[in-house]
Amino acid sequence: VNGESIRVLVVDDELGMREGCRKVLAPEGYSVETAADGVAGLELFKDRGDFAIVLVDLNMPLMGGMELIDHLRKLDEDVVIFVITAYAAIDTAVEATRKGAYGYIPKPFTPDELLLPIRQGLERRALTIEARRLREERESRLLEVALERSKSSTIIGCMTDGVLVINRDRQMVLRNAAMTRMMPRCAGLPLSAPMNTLKCPELESLIEETLCTDSGPVIASRELALDKSTYMVNASPVLEPNGLVTGAVVVLRDITALKKLDIAKSMFISMVAHELKSPLAAVVSQLSLILDGTVSGDAQKERHILDRCLLRIDALRTMVSDLLSLTAMETGRFTIKRSALNISEVVSAVLDSYKEKAQDKHITLEMARAPDADKVRVLADRESMMMVFANLVDNAIKYTPDGGQVYLSVECNGVFLKVSVRDTGIGMTAEEKERVFDEFYRVKNEYAVHVPGTGLGLSLVKKLVEMHQGHVSVQSVPGKGSTFCVNLPLTG
Ligand SMILES: Nc1ncnc2c1ncn2[C@@H]1O[C@H](COP(=O)(O)OP(=O)(O)OP(=O)(O)O)[C@@H](O)[C@H]1O
Ligand SMILES: [Mg+2]
């Protein structure tokens, strides 16, 4: 009864019967309501459907007891219904129970003859309600487990790493989509296929290492090259609570891109070493000519040798500073101080500093300066911009034979400022064009081999321009000339 009052509905057309029930039940803590016929009883029940017990008389006006039982059952499967009747007969009792009545109370009755069956009925009601609650809880837990399972299999399925699970009998028990992509052979094999059908001895030996863990569990790792890709493979044991190994989980991670980066880095270092070595070797051999007395006494020859050494050392110094700038940019340590610049003015200053060099080669160096280009501004670092245009003008002069022409133009084109450096020089093939912005790339033709340089200038130009959200491109015709265009975004 738990202190809360249990609601009882008495439906009987005899007032004496209704009040009699109330007199017995109210002192026991039940909260009793009454109705004089089936229709009124049903209304009361519908109004507040929380009656635990209904006592029903069979013979009533408007709606009889049997019909009322039918309605009540449909409304509430837990309510405990007792039939009260003076006309005790087996067949009515049977029919009432068939319709869902719990018991049968013959009238007249003593208080105990009413209270006892009601107590039993309540106990039975509590039991069914509890049983149903348990069943529902179990079902919802089962649902949870099923959801949990489908969640983990969805996660494993979506993983970009390949996952393969092998049991202690060396059979495949799980593989995800990424795994079948990495090892297409996997896809054709049924689950529980022995792992040696994968035909990958490296993988097998790794799994063996994990499964045979006499000296405690180990996670075995190795690189694996399959097809055109490289994978980092980690195999770890699956342990039972008692420490026994029941299988292995193998995870394959695609490290092809990292591997390529690693190789590129090593190549870069060996290129740098090579580029440093040849000028140093040249300087050493030139200086030994003086030291071992080969040119002793000839002041003019000695001077010539020292001049050449200085030239090589100067080129080395430029290269080292270019390298430092390039690596600083890559590691994000290269700082630029941006201000609203008149690029026309910067280009013109660069041009002035190359006048002499152009004159030496009888090259005409000219600039077309559109008036509107002088009015606009670009948010840029002055020193970086000087470097960019100096490199382009330097190349144009370097790779143009005596008597040629170099034209510069600055113009506004929509939201960009466009600077072009055009020359009538040796030009380059489509293939060479593709690679000029690569570090250390230099064209190896008859003209270019005699031109000093390290192949870092244009890679620096590209990085600097891109740091300013700009873009650099090249057009060229072999034997006719090249045009380099730099586009920089305008302010506001
Ligand atoms: N205007 C040009 N005409 C023809 N070829 C060019 C031109 N500019 C660059 N190149 C080619 O592109 C290569 C790379 O140029 P880049 O400026 O990066 O290096 P570099 O001039 O050789 O050396 P650095 O500029 O580091 O002293 C050059 O070696 C040259 O072969
Ligand atoms: Mg250059």
- Please check whether residue 46 is in contact with residue 39, taking contact to mean a CB–CB distance below 8 angstroms: no
Q: Whose CA is nearest to atom 12 of ligand 1?
A: 436
Q: Whose CA is nearest to atom 4 of ligand 1?
A: 427
- Please check whether residue 41 is in contact with residue 66, taking contact to mean a CB–CB distance below 8 angstroms: no
Residue 79: Cβ within 10 Å count = 21
Ligand having the closest approach to the CA of 316: 1
Ligand having the closest approach to the CA of 461: 1
Peptide bond into 201 cis (omega under 30): no
Token reading at 39: 């229709």
Predicted TM-score (pTM) of this structure = 0.55
- Please check whether residue 481 is in contact with residue 400, taking contact to mean a CB–CB distance below 8 angstroms: yes
Q: Is the pLDDT of residue 3 over 70?
A: no
Per-residue model confidence (pLDDT) at position 202: 94
The strand order across the sheet containing 471-477 reads 364-369, 405-413, 416-423, 481-489, 471-477
Ligand 1 atom closest to residue 322's alpha carbon, by position in its atom list: 26
Indicate whether residue 388 lines ligand 1 (CB < 6 A).
Answer: no
For 210-267, write each residue's pLDDT tens digit.
988 776 778 899 999 998 899 999 999 998 888 888 999 999 999 999 998 888 888 8
Q: Is the pLDDT of residue 405 over 60?
A: yes
Q: With pLDDT > 90 as the criterion, what percentage of the chain qualifies?
A: 64
- Please check whether residue 218 is in contact with residue 209, taking contact to mean a CB–CB distance below 8 angstroms: yes
Average pLDDT, stretch 278-305?
Answer: 90
Per-residue model confidence (pLDDT) at position 95: 85
For 54-71, write each residue's pLDDT tens digit.
999 988 888 888 999 999
Ligand 1 atom closest to residue 460's alpha carbon, by position in its atom list: 18
Pick from 83-92, 175-184, 479-488 the range whose average pLDDT is largest. Answer: 479-488
For 13-68, write each residue's pLDDT tens digit.
999 999 999 999 999 999 999 999 999 999 999 998 789 999 999 888 888 889 99
Indicate whether residue 458 lines ligand 1 (CB < 6 A).
Answer: yes
Ligand having the closest approach to the CA of 459: 1
Tokens 């009793």 belong to 32
For 406-434, write each residue's pLDDT tens digit.
999 999 988 999 999 999 999 999 999 99
Ligand 2 center from residue 263 Cα (angstroms)? 26
Per-residue model confidence (pLDDT) at position 88: 63
Ligand 2 center from residue 229 Cα (angstroms)? 36
- Higher-pLDDT residue of 326 and 397 is 397
Per-residue model confidence (pLDDT) at position 474: 97
Q: Is the pLDDT of residue 320 over 60?
A: yes
Parallel, antiparallel or unpaired: strands 416-423 and 481-489: antiparallel
Per-residue model confidence (pLDDT) at position 4: 64
Indicate whether residue 454 lines ligand 1 (CB < 6 A).
Answer: yes
For 159-209, write each residue's pLDDT tens digit.
999 999 999 999 999 999 999 999 998 888 888 899 999 999 999 999 999
CA dist., res. 376 & res. 410, Å (int): 11
Per-residue model confidence (pLDDT) at position 90: 72
Ligand having the closest approach to the CA of 442: 1
CA dist., res. 458 & res. 474, Å (int): 11
| Secondary-structure percent of the chain, ordered helix, strand, coil, rounded to 5 | 50, 25, 25
- pLDDT band of residue 106 (cuts 50, 70, 90) is confident
- Please check whether residue 343 is in contact with residue 410, taking contact to mean a CB–CB distance below 8 angstroms: yes
Per-residue model confidence (pLDDT) at position 483: 98
- pLDDT band of residue 296 (cuts 50, 70, 90) is confident
Q: Is the pLDDT of residue 1 over 70?
A: no
**Rounded to an integer, what is the distance from CA 85 to the centroid of its chain?**
75
Half-sphere exposure of 298 (CA within 13 A, CB side): 12
Mutate to test the pocket of ligand 1, among 357, 365, 395, 464 (most ligand atoms within 8 A of CB): 395
Q: Whose CA is nearest to atom 19 of ligand 1?
A: 455
Parallel, antiparallel or unpaired: strands 220-226 and 229-239: antiparallel
The torsion of the CA quartet 343, 346, 347, 350, rounded to 10 degrees, works out to -170
Q: 238: which strand partners?
A: 247
Q: Is the pLDDT of residue 112 over 80?
A: yes
Average pLDDT, stretch 335-357?
Answer: 95
Q: Is the pLDDT of residue 383 over 50?
A: yes
- pLDDT band of residue 2 (cuts 50, 70, 90) is very low
Half-sphere exposure of 338 (CA within 13 A, CB side): 13
Q: With pLDDT > 70 as the criterion, what percentage of the chain qualifies?
A: 98
Tokens 């202190």 belong to 3
